[in-house]
Amino acid sequence: MAPDEDKDAVKKLMSWTQKFRKDKGYLFYTPISLQQAITTADQPATGPVWASRTILPAPKDDCIITAITEAIYDLDDGSCADLVATLADVQVQWSGFRSGVGRHEKEPTISEEDKYKGLMKDTRSKTTIIYAHGGLNYSGGPASVRAVTSTLAKLTKGRCLVLEQRLAPQDPFPAPLIDLLVAYLSLLYPPEDAFHEATTPENIVIAGESSGGNLCLSFLLLLQHFQQRKTRINFHGNCVSIPYPAGFATFCAQGDATMSFPSYARNKNYDIIDDVHPTLSDIITPDSIWPSTPPRSHIYSPTTNLITHPLVSPVSSKSWPSIKPPPMFFAYGQERMLDEGRFMAKQAFKAGASVQLHQYNALPHIFAFIAQIPQTAHLFTQWAQFCRMCVEEPQKIDSSRYYIHEPVAGPPGFKTIPRDVGDGKEFTDLEYEEVLKLMDGNKKKMKVWNGPKTKSSL
């Protein structure tokens, strides 16, 4: 039993979470087009931050579309009818630490290429992070996570390539997955006129938060499929292989689009996430893009059946990389998505990957983005350290660990309790068939969303 003062520390964090929901929760229910306009807007990079914007051109042929479509169908259980996959140029931003300037220093008025050169002069490590932002699949952009990516770049002494992936509902699955593949291949095999030189896969870590973390894990499963099939792709005129990167590092990654795991009920009071997805709520304000035309049951999944596809909900994957699998980092609050993270950590571990799982108790989804508390600093340190070690000291990531961070009164604000992973059951007792049954039950309840229900005037 925790001392009374430690219980008070838990109550304090829960009170902060509830206040956030009360003060900011309404933002999730504003029109989707308004949320997109606000969160995708670029901003000047002020202070000790480099931001260099560029476009990674899509290949002129459809080889990427063919490869991804084949993978989706190969991993299918009959859910891929009427799938539409499109290719587009990918907008990205290089993000890094800018030395020798104060916090109010304005972004220099030089070319984007010169900004990139400045970023590279301040880069001291080979660590390159491809970062996929979150935002419930329909909001966010590089500027919205610049504080995150510049911090990771500073702590790793490396650099981040921040993806501006296409957003739902206009561009649902698999559009963002295609964008991530184009960005990854562009790092490995730079197109003509690119700012950057070729980067080896051993120097690349794929990272992201929330729905961006979901995209990262879906990408891992896509790469696994390519590895198993020995897939090669014609990329800008060259037939290229698609290797694994050095590692995957996610924060609060969504793994289950059906919201079926027990923690959705158990951890309700610790989280900022409501019972019903905001886009399916009766209090959201509809607009010209949502409900979609034609209407559907999920903003990211183009069909209800695809919701349980492993490249949409990675928890449903029958297999995880087992031949030289990249190491994996998971971190969560005591949130509704916690159990799906624990389950994915277990599945990756059982397949042979080295896994680190950090669980920050009494804290909500993406807490580190909205709270300046000791756990936030700790999370960023652990996240960056893992990314750096994947590149610079991979031999030291040779075992799996599960850490639970409990809030305490007084400094340092929490205590860390390491758990022995054992055979993987310490992550979770949930088994694969049980998970599929839970997901299938929720999928059957999902209905096409035509907009908020009108209230009776009686």
The model's pLDDT over 254-278, given as tens digits with 9 standing for 90+, comes to 999 999 999 999 999 999 999 999 9
Strand segments, DSSP code E, in 150-254 are 159-164, 204-209, 232-235, 238-241, 247-251
Distance from CA of residue 66 to its chain's centroid?
25
Instruction: Examine the pLDDT at 1 and tell me if it is beyond 50.
Output: no
Q: Rounded to an integer, what distance in angstroms lies between the CA atom of residue 218 and that of residue 175?
A: 12
Q: Which of 28, 43, 276, 281 lies closest to 137 in space, CA to CA?
A: 28
Instruction: Examine the pLDDT at 36 and tell me if it is beyond 80.
Output: yes
- Domain boundaries, given as residue ranges, for the chain: 4-445
Mean pLDDT of 375-389: 99
Mean pLDDT of 338-363: 98
For residue 164, give Cα distances in angstroms to 39, 83, 98. 11, 22, 21
Containing 199, the helix (H) or strand (E) segment is: none
Q: Rounded to an integer, what distance in angstroms lies between the CA atom of residue 240 and that of residue 238?
A: 6
Containing 17, the helix (H) or strand (E) segment is: helix 4-24
Q: Which residues contact 41 (CB under 8 A, 6 or more apart)?
A: 141, 143
pLDDT digits (tens, 9 = 90+) for 177-230: 999 999 999 999 999 999 999 999 999 999 999 999 999 999 999 999 999 999
pLDDT digits (tens, 9 = 90+) for 49-92: 999 999 999 999 999 999 999 999 999 866 676 789 999 999 99
Distance from CA of residue 225 to its chain's centroid?
20
3-state secondary structure of 53: strand
What tokens does 136 get?
A: 């419930």
The position carrying tokens 């850490």 is: 403
Q: How confident is the model at residue 458 (pLDDT cuts 50, 70, 90)?
A: very low
The CATH fold assigned to 4-445 is Rossmann fold (3.40.50)
pLDDT of residue 321: 97
Distance from CA of residue 184 to its chain's centroid?
15
Instruction: Examine the pLDDT at 14 and tell me if it is beyond 50.
Output: yes
**Interaxial angle between packed helices 146-156 and 374-392, expressed in degrees from 0 to 180 and rounded to the nearest 10:** 50
For residue 303, give Cα distances in angstroms to 64, 122, 216, 279, 288. 22, 45, 21, 15, 20
Report the alpha-carbon angle 13-17-19, nearest 5: 115
Share of residues in the chain with pLDDT > 70 (%): 97
pLDDT greater at residue 120 or residue 454: 120
pLDDT of residue 76: 81
Instruction: Examine the pLDDT at 456 and tell me if it is beyond 50.
Output: no
Mean pLDDT of 132-138: 99
**DSSP state for residue 286 in the 8-state scheme:** P
Mean pLDDT of 113-138: 98
pLDDT digits (tens, 9 = 90+) for 321-344: 999 999 999 999 999 999 999 999
Tell me the average pLDDT of the chain.
96
Amino acid type, 400:
S
**Angular region, 249: left φ>0, alpha ψ -120 to 50, beta rest:** beta
| Strand partners of residue 404 | 359, 417
| Strand partners of residue 417 | 404
Q: How confident is the model at residue 371 (pLDDT cuts 50, 70, 90)?
A: confident
Instruction: Examine the pLDDT at 457 and tell me if it is beyond 50.
Output: no
pLDDT of residue 3: 63
Q: Rounded to an integer, what distance in angstroms lies between the CA atom of residue 430 and that of residue 60?
A: 45
